[in-house]
C-alpha cells in the first residue's frame, strides 16, 4: 500500500492572524454627488441603533485570506482525492461541467421575484427537472422546494397530516411508523410534524418484520416511512405486502430516497405503492456535498396528494412557464422561494449527461461494486456479515466488527480511524443501529475496480494489524492532519469551546 500523509499546516484561527489597518477588500466609493445630496451618514440612522464599536473581526490583507483558507482546504479529504465509501451518503463523483454551468451569471444573478417574462429559462429547467424526477420515481408530481432530504421528510410528513386532516382523520391518526433500521432523520421528522413515533423491528433477514408491522398498525396509523433498499442495503422483498398493510389501515407510505441510487431505471418507488417520495439530489444526482450542504430534497407524490404540495408550483401553459400560488389545499411553504436552485441545476445537467441508459448503468455498477466489495471483504474472514449472508445486497453492505472486537479490542471506530491512515475515508460507522459495531460501506459507481481492491487490501491489513499489533489500530490515525481528537472534552459543558469569543472568555477566566 502506498504511503499517505495528509498536509498539516498548524494554521492559527483567523482571529489570530492579520494586523490592525490591513484591508482585504475595497468597497466602491459613493459618488460625491450622492453625499452632497443626502448628507452625512450620521443623520440617516437613529442614534441609538448605530453600532458603537466595530465588530471584532480580524483585519487581513487579501493575500492572507487566500493563504489561510487554501491551507485549511489542504487539510480536508474529498471525493476528488479518492474512495469515500460512506454508507448511505452516496459519495459519487461530482461532474465538473455541472459546477461550471451552475456558475453562469444567467443563473447566479437571477432574483427570485423577477417578472416571469425575464425568468423563462430557469422556470423551464425547473419544470422539466420536476417531470424527470417524477418519471424516475414513478410519482405524479414533484415539488423542488425542500433544501435537503430531512427537509423533504418534514414536508412529506406534513403532507400526510394535511391528507388525514382533509379526510377528517387527523385527530385519530397520530402515529408514524418507522423501522428500527431507519436513519435518525425519519423519527426526528415525524416528531417535527407532530406525530408519535412507533418503531417496528426488523426480522432475521434485516427486513421489516411483517408480523410485527401488522401488530402495530391500527386506526391510529398515519403512515410508514421506509427506505428501499433499506439501510442494510437489502431490498425489502415484501414491499407489496407492506404497502397493502399500510394502505388497508388507511395510512400512507413514505419513501426515504437516500438509497434511490441502487434502483435508478430498474424499479420505481411509485410503482411499489409509495405515496410520497423524497430524493436526496446531493446523493443520487451527483451534486457536491460542500462539506455538509447545500443539498436539495425534492418530494414527489401520487395523484391523490398532488394538491397538498407547497407553493408556488412551476406550471406550463403550452407557451410560457408560470409560478402558480393558487393551491387551496397546499401545506404552504417549508422555506423561502423555490428551493436550492444552484443544486437543482446541477442535477438537471447530471441527468442530461447520463440519460436514461447512463442512470441505469450508474445503478447497476453501484450494485455490482457493492456486491464485489461484500464478497472480497467477507473473504478476509475478520469482519462478520450480519443477516442473510447468501443474499445479494444492493448499493451498500454492512459489516460488523463485533467478532474482531471480542478477539482484539479493536472497534468499528478504530478500524475507521486506521483506514484514514491509508488515505481512504472510513465507511459510516455505528449505523444502522440494529448492527453492533457496524461499518456501512457504499462504494457508488464512481470508483474503479483497482480502487475497490485497494480498499479491500486496506481492510485486510487493518484486520491483520488488529491481531498482530493492536496498538497501531487503537492509536490511529497518525497520518492525518491531526491525531485522535478529544471529543469528550469538546462536548463537556465545562470545557467546550463553540466560538472564538468563548475561547477568549475561558482563557480569561483561567488566568
Of the candidates 150, 245, 277, 413, which one interacts with ligand PLP according to CB under 6 A? 150
Which CB atom, from 271 or from 324, has the smaller least distance to another protein? 271
Sign of the dihedral through C-alpha 203, 164, 219, 191: positive
Residue 364 binds another protein (CB under 8 A):
yes
If one counts every other C-beta atom within 10 angstroms of the C-beta of residue 247, the result is 15
Which CB atom, from 258 or from 374, has the smaller least distance to ligand PLP? 258
Three-state helix/strand/coil letters over 310-376:
CCCEEEECCCCEEEECCCCCCCCCCCCCCCCHHHHHHHHHHHHHHHHHHHHHHHHHHHHHHHHHHHH
Residue ranges in 56-95 that form contacts with ligand PLP under rule CB under 6 A:
88-89
For the chain, state the CA radius of gyration: 26
DSSP 3-state of 41: helix
Binding site partner of 469, from ligand PLP, another protein, none, Cβ cut-off 5-8 A by kind? none
Q: d(Cα 277, Cα 227) in Å, to the nearest integer?
A: 10
Residue 156 binds ligand PLP (CB under 6 A):
no
Residue ranges in 6-25 that form contacts with another protein under rule CB under 8 A:
6, 10-11, 13-15, 18, 22-25
Region from 104-112, 144-152, 331-339, 359-367 binding ligand PLP, contact rule CB under 6 A: 144-152
Binding site partner of 509, from another protein, ligand PLP, none, Cβ cut-off 5-8 A by kind? none
- 11: DSSP letter: P
Q: d(Cα 126, Cα 298) in Å, to the nearest integer?
A: 11
Region from 230-238, 247-255, 402-410, 434-442 binding another protein, contact rule CB under 8 A: 230-238
Q: d(Cα 473, Cα 475) in Å, to the nearest integer?
A: 6
Which CB atom, from 69 or from 407, has the smaller least distance to another protein? 69
Sign of the dihedral through C-alpha 188, 189, 190, 196: positive
Please, what is the minimum distance in Å from the beta carbon of residue 299 to ligand PLP?
A: 12
Please, what is the minimum distance in Å from the beta carbon of residue 285 to ligand PLP?
A: 12
Q: In a 10 Å sphere around its CB, with 0-12 CB exposed, 13-18 middle and 19+ buried, how is residue 160 labelled?
A: buried
Closest residue to ligand PLP, judged by C-beta, is 149
Residue ranges in 249-278 that form contacts with ligand PLP under rule CB under 6 A:
256, 258
Cell numbers placing 485: 481528537
If one counts every other C-beta atom within 10 angstroms of the C-beta of residue 425, the result is 19
Residue ranges in 149-188 that form contacts with another protein under rule CB under 8 A:
149-151, 153-154, 158, 161, 183-185, 187-188
Of the candidates 148, 157, 245, 440, which one interacts with ligand PLP according to CB under 6 A? 148
Q: d(Cα 485, Cα 473) in Å, to the nearest integer?
A: 15
Binding site partner of 436, from ligand PLP, another protein, none, Cβ cut-off 5-8 A by kind? none
Residue 149 binds ligand PLP (CB under 6 A):
yes
Residue ranges in 379-418 that form contacts with another protein under rule CB under 8 A:
391-392, 394, 416-417
Binding site partner of 75, from ligand PLP, another protein, none, Cβ cut-off 5-8 A by kind? another protein
Number of alpha carbons in the 13 Å side-chain half-sphere of residue 342: 16
Region from 9-17, 146-154, 199-207, 413-421 binding ligand PLP, contact rule CB under 6 A: 146-154
Residue 295 binds ligand PLP (CB under 6 A):
yes
Please, what is the minimum distance in Å from the beta carbon of residue 281 to ligand PLP?
A: 8
Cis bond upstream, residue 432 (ω within 30): yes
Residue ranges in 84-113 that form contacts with another protein under rule CB under 8 A:
84, 86, 89, 91-95, 97, 99-101, 103-113
Residue 297 binds ligand PLP (CB under 6 A):
yes
CB 479 within 8 A of CB 421: yes
| φ and ψ of 46, to 5 deg | -65, 130
Which CB atom, from 11 or from 384, has the smaller least distance to another protein? 11
Residue 179 binds ligand PLP (CB under 6 A):
no
Cell numbers placing 460: 485486510
If one counts every other C-beta atom within 10 angstroms of the C-beta of residue 183, the result is 23
Q: d(Cα 95, Cα 245) in Å, to the nearest integer?
A: 41
Sites of contact with ligand PLP (CB under 6 A): 88-89, 148-150, 183, 185, 227, 231, 256, 258, 280, 295, 297
Amino acid at each position: 500500500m502506498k504511503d499517505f500523509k495528509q498536509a498539516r499546516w498548524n494554521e492559527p484561527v483567523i482571529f489570530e492572524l492579520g494586523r490592525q489597518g490591513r484591508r482585504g477588500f475595497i468597497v466602491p466609493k459613493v459618488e460625491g454627488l450622492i453625499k452632497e445630496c443626502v448628507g452625512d451618514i450620521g443623520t440617516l440612522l437613529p442614534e441609538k441603533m448605530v453600532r458603537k464599536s466595530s465588530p471584532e473581526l480580524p483585519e487581513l490583507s487579501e493575500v492572507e485570506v487566500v493563504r489561510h483558507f487554501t491551507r485549511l482546504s489542504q487539510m480536508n479529504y474529498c471525493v476528488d482525492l479518492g474512495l469515500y465509501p460512506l454508507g448511505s451518503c452516496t459519495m459519487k463523483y461530482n461532474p465538473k461541467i455541472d459546477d461550471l454551468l451552475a456558475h453562469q451569471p444567467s443563473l447566479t444573478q437571477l432574483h427570485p421575484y423577477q417578472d416571469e417574462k425575464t425568468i423563462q429559462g430557469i422556470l423551464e429547467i425547473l419544470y422539466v427537472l420536476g417531470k424527470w424526477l417524477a418519471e424516475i420515481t414513478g410519482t405524479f408530481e414533484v415539488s423542488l422546494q425542500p433544501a435537503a432530504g430531512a427537509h423533504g421528510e418534514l414536508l412529506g410528513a406534513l403532507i400526510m397530516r394535511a391528507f388525514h386532516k382533509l379526510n377528517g382523520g387527523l385527530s385519530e391518526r397520530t402515529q408514524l411508523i418507522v423501522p428500527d433500521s431507519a436513519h435518525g432523520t425519519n423519527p426526528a421528522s415525524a416528531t417535527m410534524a407532530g406525530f408519535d413515533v412507533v418503531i417496528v423491528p426488523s426480522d432475521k433477514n434485516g427486513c421489516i418484520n411483517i408480523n410485527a408491522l401488522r401488530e402495530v398498525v391500527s386506526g391510529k396509523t398515519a403512515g410508514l416511512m421506509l427506505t428501499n433498499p433499506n439501510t442494510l442495503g437489502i431490498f425489502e422483498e415484501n414491499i407489496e405486502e407492506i404497502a397493502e398493510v399500510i394502505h388497508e389501515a388507511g395510512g400512507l407510505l413514505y419513501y426515504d430516497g437516500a438509497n434511490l441510487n441502487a434502483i435508478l431505471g430498474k424499479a420505481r418507488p411509485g410503482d411499489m405503492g409509495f405515496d410520497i417520495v423524497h430524493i436526496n439530489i446531493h446523493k443520487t444526482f451527483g451534486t457536491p456535498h460542500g462539506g455538509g450542504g447545500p443539498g436539495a430534497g425534492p418530494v414527489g407524490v401520487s395523484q391523490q396528494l398532488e394538491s397538498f404540495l407547497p407553493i408556488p408550483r412551476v406550471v406550463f401553459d403550452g407557451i410560457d412557464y408560470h409560478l402558480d400560488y393558487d393551491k387551496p389545499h397546499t401545506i404552504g411553504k417549508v422555506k423561502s422561494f423555490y428551493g436550492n436552485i444552484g443544486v437543482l441545476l446541477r442535477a438537471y445537467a447530471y441527468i442530461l449527461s447520463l440519460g436514461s441508459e447512463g442512470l441505469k448503468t450508474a445503478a447497476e455498477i453501484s450494485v455490482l461494486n457493492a456486491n464485489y466489495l461484500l464478497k472480497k471483504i467477507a473473504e478476509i474472514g475478520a469482519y462478520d456479515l450480519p443477516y442473510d449472508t447468501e443474499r445479494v445486497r444492493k448499493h451498500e453492505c454492512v459489516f460488523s466488527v463485533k467478532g474482531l472486537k471480542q478477539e482484539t479490542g479493536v472497534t468499528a471506530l478504530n478500524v475507521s480511524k486506521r483506514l484514514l491512515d491509508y488515505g481512504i475515508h472510513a465507511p459510516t460507522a455505528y449505523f444502522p443501529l440494529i448492527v453492533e459495531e457496524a461499518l456501512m460501506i457504499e462504494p457508488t459507481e464512481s470508483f474503479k475496480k483497482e480502487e475497490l481492491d485497494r480498499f479491500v487490501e486496506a481492510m485486510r491489513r487493518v484486520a491483520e494489524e488488529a491481531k498482530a499489533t493492536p496498538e497501531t489500530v487503537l492509536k490511529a490515525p497518525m497520518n492525518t492532519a491531526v491525531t485522535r481528537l478529544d471529543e469528550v472534552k469538546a462536548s463537556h459543558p465545562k470545557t467546550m469551546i463553540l466560538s472564538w469569543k468563548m475561547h477568549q472568555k475561558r482563557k480569561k477566566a483561567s488566568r
